[in-house]
Amino acid sequence: MDRKIEKRFWNKKRILMISGGALIALLLLYTLIFADHRASLNVEKDKITISAVKKGTFDVYIAVTAVVMPLKTIRLDAIEGGYVSRKYLEGGSMVKAGDSILKLDNQHMQMQFVTQETEIYRLQNDLQNTRLKIRQDRFSMQQAIYDYDAKIAAAQDLYDRNKQLVDEKIVSRQEFNKNKIELEGLVKQRNIQLESQRYQEENAKMQISQLEGTLARTQRNLTLMKENLNSLIVRAPVSGQLSSIDVEVGSSIQAGQNIGQIDDLNGFKLRADIDEHYVSQVFAGLKATFEFDGKSYEMVVTKVYPEVKNGRFQADMNFEKTTPEGIRRGQSSPIRLVLGKSAEALLLPLGGFFSDTGGNWVYVVDRGGKKAIKRNITLGRKNPLYFEVLDGLQPGDQVITSSYENFGNKDVLVF
């Protein structure tokens, strides 16, 4: 007789199924509670740049490009205008002080010089004639005085004799009075002649003084005109290199027009183009470093040009001690311009991340090296190599410093 076998509820298959379901449920629950729900992105580690944060000295400087220039550049400006009749030297020539560079012609100035020269001859003749006339007049007046003296002497003698005779009634009183009146008239005429002579002498002296003054002024003007004529030959004011001359034979030159320049090759300076962002931080006296031929040379800012063109301004720098041998005009070189004192700081290397985050956050690689997590930070100053880290990072942190352009602002990067 067959016996009915009852099925057990907790058979092996059911236990396995329930256990499996429970395990799946636990996994789902764990995932919901403990799993990382942050947005992530898989990236290839060999295509990004990872830099270490470190403690070090933060140097406040900027790297700028400077051009070697002569320490002194002398402008050649035309003192007088004219047209170029001859060109003695070309740009690039070495010159000595006094060497002729250009010759200008100016017909108007030459005519003025001849006219002034003729006027001087006329004034000299007038002065000579005036002096001659004065001498002649002086002689005539002296002769007149001599004649009056002779007449007065004769009249005085007659007066004296008649005075005795009138008392003796030999000569009439009428005759005596006539002699007396004649004597007094001669004396008065002599006095008038003397007064006239003094006036003419003073007037003659005034005329001579005026003529001499006019002649002296005209001679000075002639001297100046002669110097101006001489300046039509443009000469080198100093020795050096005629670096440029911007005129050709036959061209017209205006007074004061720049026609070239001479470089003094006894020393050099550097002129740097600097971003306008630093215009308030650059001033005379700042230090700079120039690297040339494996050596470092100290420099100092001597002049700042505040005018900003195309977002940049310029500054001149002189060598403090020695000038490197072998540098040439027009040569360009990077310069390290110090803007402040160095200080200990936490340093983060520069990278493309800054343009994407503005320095507000970065991706920091975790200790396992399998992923990088977004972290907020605060950056301070910047030099050509590093950012100064103020908050959010520690020495030894590994930071992705390459561009974040393709990361889409994800919270986690998985390698």
Q: Do 173 and 200 fall within a single domain?
A: yes
CA separation for the pair 309, 279 (Å, rounded)? 12
Q: Do 279 and 297 fall within a single domain?
A: yes
C-alpha atoms less than 13 angstroms from C-alpha of 37 in its C-beta half-sphere: 5
CB 255 within 8 A of CB 79: yes
Bridge partners (DSSP) listed for residue 263: 73, 241
The structure tokens 């140097």 sit at 59
What is the DSSP-derived secondary structure letter of residue 400? E
Give the chain's count of helices (H) and strands (E). 4, 22
SS (H, E, C) 55-81: EEEECCEEEEEEEEEEEEEEEEECCCC
Beta strands 332-338 and 287-292, pairing class? antiparallel
Q: Do 136 and 184 fall within a single domain?
A: yes
Q: Which CATH number characterizes residue 362's domain? A: 2.40.420.20
What was the pLDDT predicted at 1? Answer: 47
CA separation for the pair 63, 258 (Å, rounded)? 34
The verdict on residue 244 lying in a domain is: no
* Structural domain containing residue 331: 62-67+262-338
The structure tokens 């020495």 sit at 395
What was the pLDDT predicted at 301? Answer: 94
The verdict on residue 217 lying in a domain is: yes
Q: Do 333 and 363 fall within a single domain?
A: no
Q: Do 226 and 130 fall within a single domain?
A: yes
The verdict on residue 182 lying in a domain is: yes
Bridge partners (DSSP) listed for residue 58: 343
Task: Give the chain's length.
Answer: 415
- Type of residue numbered 139: F
What is the DSSP-derived secondary structure letter of residue 240? E
**Domain boundary pick from 303, 338, 373:** 338
pTM for the full predicted model: 0.51
Q: Do 169 and 280 fall within a single domain?
A: no
What was the pLDDT predicted at 122? Answer: 81
The phi and psi torsions of 410 (rounded to 5 degrees) equal -70, 155
Q: Which CATH number characterizes residue 300's domain? A: 2.40.30.170
The verdict on residue 163 lying in a domain is: yes
CB 342 within 8 A of CB 57: yes
Six-digit token pair at 406? Answer: 């393709």
What was the pLDDT predicted at 176? Answer: 67
Q: Do 395 and 284 fall within a single domain?
A: no
Overall domain count for the chain: 3
What was the pLDDT predicted at 36? Answer: 53
The verdict on residue 328 lying in a domain is: yes
CA separation for the pair 367, 369 (Å, rounded)? 5
Q: Do 309 and 377 fall within a single domain?
A: no
The verdict on residue 121 lying in a domain is: yes
Inter-axis angle of helices 107-167 and 173-230, to 10 degrees?
Answer: 170
The verdict on residue 256 lying in a domain is: no
**Domain boundary pick from 289, 314, 338:** 338
Q: Do 320 and 271 fall within a single domain?
A: yes
Bridge partners (DSSP) listed for residue 2: none
Radius of gyration of the chain, Cα coordinates, nearest whole angstrom: 54
Q: Do 220 and 155 fall within a single domain?
A: yes
Q: Do 116 and 210 fall within a single domain?
A: yes
Q: Do 115 and 224 fall within a single domain?
A: yes
Query: pLDDT tens string for the chain (415 positions)?
Result: 455 555 555 566 666 777 777 777 676 665 555 555 567 788 888 889 999 999 998 888 888 999 998 888 888 888 787 878 888 888 778 888 888 888 888 887 778 778 877 877 887 887 787 778 777 777 877 887 888 778 877 877 777 776 767 666 666 777 767 777 877 888 888 888 888 778 877 877 788 788 878 788 878 877 777 777 777 788 888 888 887 787 888 788 888 888 888 887 778 899 999 988 888 889 999 999 888 888 888 999 999 998 999 999 999 999 988 888 888 888 888 888 988 888 899 999 999 999 889 899 999 999 888 899 999 999 988 888 899 999 999 999 999 999 998 888 788 888 8
The verdict on residue 79 lying in a domain is: no
**Domain boundary pick from 310, 338, 366:** 338
